[in-house]
Amino acid sequence: MPKILLKPKPNFDLLRKNPRPVLLELKETKINVEVEIETKAPNSAKTDRWTKVAEGEMERYREIVEDTVEKVVTKWDVVDKATKLPMSKSEREKQAKDLITSVNNACASMEAAIEKAVKEQIKREAQGDKNLLEARIAVAVKGTFKIIAIGKDVAELAVSGGANVKAWYSLAKDIYTLAKLINDQCKDEPALRDDLLKAIGTYCSTKQRRFDEAQKAADWKAQAKLKIKEIWTSQKSLAAKCETQRKSYRNEVTVLIQHVDKLGGKRDDLQVEMKKTAKLDAEGIKAGKKLVDLGSSVKSMNTLILKSQAFVDDMAFLLTENGIEVDDRTAMQKLKALDDLGSIKTAAKEIYTAATDLQTIIEAIKG
């Protein structure tokens, strides 16, 4: 009988998000599953169903893994009321090893679960297809799960042992200043974006109407260049207004990028300073968490910035004579994409909040 090899969800990540990036490092979390089936007369429709069944089991086991890891590591940064310290490094390392064993055992169980689920699916289908009665299945999970409890990192801060708290505070102040600049600048972003959307929306709808009318003429193809020239002449003033709004928005995005980049550099400098010491305490953990929060907020902002940049660049061609021939229904879809972008203002507020909290914590450490 012919053999087929199914590879459901290649590079399947068992732990999509690090629940405690300050205390936990993900080393190896991706696996590959192979399902070898020996059967008569296989076809793509059948194998697609069998693959989906296997994927369902993979998703089910991933939920188990993520839930297990979450429950264990959330206790790592809980400060003991008696000692005023969180869990010791040695205990965290022990729990990390236990988690590795537990998850790798779960992978072995997943192999059996996938084999059982696919077999049952084939058995159901065999009622109408005798070629499936003798099918044989073998499942293999390739890859191992590995995590480690972080030893010396931003979580392990100290107010003694050579820590340059003065340098921390200076950098935290710089971060706060830049975050305030970003927050203040982005307060007007919704209005600026709205002005741009309205201007381009008016331009596109008017141009499309004139373009559609021109296409109805019997001699449209023969006079295409002339007609396009006429439409551009009538639309030029509207296009100029749009271009003014586009440049204004683009310039704001450019300045925003500069501020975000400077903040990112200061954050990296502070992280380096914090890594120089290795004593773990409650206030240090708080500062480390806020540093991670700040990094996450910057990443969110960068996603929005890239989308905004792509939009203003796309619109540049639209607002030229050559852009007259662009179907404005496509342009309107892009307008909706920017409208649905989400709030840059909100992302800026998150950066500002994290920076404010970070400065407050380090100020407390400084005393």
pLDDT tens per residue across span 45-85 = 888 999 999 999 999 999 999 999 999 988 887 777 777 77
Q: What per-residue confidence (pLDDT) applies to 162?
A: 45
3-state secondary structure (DSSP) of residue 161:
coil
Q: What per-residue confidence (pLDDT) applies to 152?
A: 46
DSSP 59-119: HHHHHHHHHHHHHHHTTTTPPPTTTS----HHHHHHHHHHHHHHHHHHHHHHHHHHHHHHH
- Helix crossing, 282-318 with 165-186: angle to 10°? 30
Q: pLDDT tens for residues 249-289?
A: 777 778 888 888 888 888 888 777 766 654 445 566 677 77
C-alpha pair distances (Å), 22 with each of 37, 153, 240? 43, 7, 50
Which residues neighbour 224 within 8 Å (Cβ) at sequence distance 6 or greater?
none
Which residues neighbour 321 within 8 Å (Cβ) at sequence distance 6 or greater?
228, 229, 232
CA distance 313 to 334: 11
Q: What per-residue confidence (pLDDT) applies to 58?
A: 95
Tracing tokens 């409650």 back to the chain, one arrives at 282
Q: What per-residue confidence (pLDDT) applies to 35?
A: 92
Per DSSP, the chain holds a count of helices (H) and strands (E) of 8, 6
Q: pLDDT tens for residues 76-135?
A: 877 777 777 777 788 888 999 999 999 999 999 999 999 999 988 888 877 666 656 667
Distance of CA 257 to the CA centre of its chain: 18
Is the pLDDT reported for residue 6 higher than 80?
yes
Q: What per-residue confidence (pLDDT) applies to 19?
A: 83
Query: In sequence order, what E strands does the chain have?
Result: 3-6, 12-13, 24-28, 30-38, 136-142, 146-149
Dihedral (CA of 170, 299, 357, 154) sign? negative
Q: Residue 175: which of 29, 15, 354 has the closest Cα?
A: 354
Give the mean pLDDT of 207-229: 58
CA distance 155 to 282: 9
Q: Which tokens hold the place of 295?
A: 């990094």
Query: pLDDT band for position 207 (50/70/90)?
Result: low
Is the pLDDT reported for residue 351 higher than 90?
no
CA distance 183 to 188: 10
CA angle, 185 then 188 then 192, to 5°? 120
Mean pLDDT computed over every residue of the chain: 75
Q: What per-residue confidence (pLDDT) applies to 32?
A: 94
